[in-house]
Amino acid sequence: MKLYEFEGHRILAKAGIESPFFIVCSSIDEVKQARKRLKFPIVAKVQVLTGRRGKAGGVKFFTKEKQLLTFAKEHFGQDFMGEKVRFVSLSQKVEIKKEYYMSITYDTVKKLPFLIFSFQGGIDIEEIKKKDPSLIKTFDIDPISGPKDKDLAKFFEQDKTVLADFALRLWDAFSRYDLRLIEVNPIGLTADGYLMAIDAKIILDDAGLLRHRDLDILPKGAISAIPTDREILAKKIDEDDYRGSAGSTFIEFDGDVVVLASGGGASLLVMDSVIDAGGRPANYTEYSGNPPAEKVQKLTKIALDREGLSGCLVAGAVANFTDIYETLRGFIEGLRQVRPKPTYPIVIRRGGPRQEEAYEMIKKVARREGFDIHLFGPETPISVACQKMVELANDYKIRNPKHESRIDSYH
């Protein structure tokens, strides 16, 4: 999960890293009130999850209130780099003597965290690396013991004390809060010899959020800064219940075929096959790791409880440990709670423990309650089942001309 800059500064503060005093505003009235607590010049920053805001005009310095208010009015509620602006932060401009760059992330080849540092920071850090790679230095970090003072002092060469201390605090935040990336660009060296985080970019490991309920983090959508109601509800299914996974990954689209997939690789194959067959997925989600029926039931209800659907596809590879009967029982219970009218086609393609028993149960339910369910075993390729789903969905739309696909608010 990417964080807004102001959220990143809050995490840095927990590690003892100072930032300029800032106020986050979500309206013109809040900007006017914040202005009373700040002295000009004031730095105004559009808060979005994308980078390179400065070059796009999202970071400005102001010496007059009229100009500041105009900037805020031009951005609140408007599209900026593909994202709607909800927040603008105001901060006191800080006079700095020198700018540095520092970040910590993971080297996926070495399977180690490592620190990246440059004695030159600022908005053109990417260009610095292209022009002179020697200006960028890296330092591998032992994930158990962390970086050592003496090694950091040798690494930084100059300004050793303050930079080594800053790196240790950055590592503290990175390791303590399960971060995937922490980047400060620029780090400002003040006239008093202090280092200050002028900007902050942080990416959290979503799986670690349950361990950090003290963090004041706004929920984020999978494909935008604002999550849909269903995305928020789906993520709550796995909270405090570690029996398998159901809903941790849930991305909502403006399609008409609900997809409940199982297995990371198989779920991607399912999505590709539906799209290749001409279908439009309404979502991407997966349940795996042998979740209990009640978790699958909750996920099913959230995914299906919307208008404009023309079908539902439950598909995955052959499971080794997942109880197919248990998970499909959860699906049927969720389906019963939603009970779509008119009934759209449902295609199920699963294999694994108790699959035959599960299919017998589903056949009885379908006959008794009138569900249009089509069952395929592991002998049928996933792509064929997806093709059948799209064909049935298209036929359903022909028979139901008032069908309209859209994302509705979940209540």
Q: What is the dihedral of CA 288, 291, 294, 297, to 10 degrees?
A: 10
As a CATH number, domain 96-211 is 3.30.470.20
CA gap 48, 36 in Å, rounded:
24
Parse the chain into domains and list their residue ranges.
21-92, 96-211, 229-399
CA gap 307, 162 in Å, rounded:
58
| 169 pLDDT tier (thresholds 50, 70, 90) | very high
**Tell me, what amino acid is at 68?**
L
Residue 286 · residue 317 · CB < 8 Å: no
Average pLDDT over residues 133-155: 87
* Per-residue confidence (pLDDT) for residue 221, from 0 to 100: 66
Residue 6 · residue 26 · CB < 8 Å: no
% of the chain at pLDDT higher than 70:
94
- CATH T-level assignment (fold) for domain 21-92: Dna Ligase; domain 1 (3.30.1490)
* Per-residue confidence (pLDDT) for residue 292, from 0 to 100: 96
Complete edge-to-edge strand list for the sheet that includes strand 373-376? 245-252, 283-288, 257-262, 311-318, 346-351, 373-376
* Cβ atoms within 10 Å of 15's Cβ, excluding its own: 19
Give, to the nearest 10 degrees, the angle between helix 28-35 and helix 65-75.
150
What digits encode the pLDDT tens for the residues 38-80? 999 999 999 999 888 888 999 999 999 999 999 999 999 999 9
Pick the CATH number of 229-399 from 3.20.20.70, 3.10.590.10, 3.40.50.300, 3.40.50.261: 3.40.50.261
Q: Do domains 96-211 and 229-399 have the same CATH topology?
A: no
What digits encode the pLDDT tens for the residues 5-50? 999 999 999 999 999 999 999 999 999 999 999 999 999 999 999 8
CA gap 252, 273 in Å, rounded:
18
CA gap 128, 118 in Å, rounded:
9
Instruction: Quote the Cα angle for 174-175-178, to 5°.
Output: 80
What digits encode the pLDDT tens for the residues 303-314? 999 999 999 999
What digits encode the pLDDT tens for the residues 154-165? 888 766 678 999
Q: How many residues does the chain have?
A: 411
Give, to the nearest 10 degrees, the angle between helix 160-176 and helix 5-14.
110
Asked whether residue 409 carries a pLDDT value surpassing 50, the answer given is: no
Residue 289, by phi and psi: left (phi above 0), alpha (psi -120 to 50) or beta?
left
What digits encode the pLDDT tens for the residues 51-62? 888 889 999 999
Residues near 386 by beta carbon (within 8 Å), at least 6 away in sequence:
270, 273, 274, 276, 277, 279, 313, 315, 347
| 241 pLDDT tier (thresholds 50, 70, 90) | confident
What digits encode the pLDDT tens for the residues 171-197? 999 999 999 999 999 999 998 888 999
Instruction: Quote the Cα angle for 284-290-293, to 5°.
Output: 80
Average pLDDT over residues 111-122: 90
Q: Any bridge partners for residue 24, and if so which?
A: 89
* Per-residue confidence (pLDDT) for residue 253, from 0 to 100: 93
Q: Any bridge partners for residue 201, and if so which?
A: 183
Residue 260, by phi and psi: left (phi above 0), alpha (psi -120 to 50) or beta?
beta
CA gap 146, 295 in Å, rounded:
38
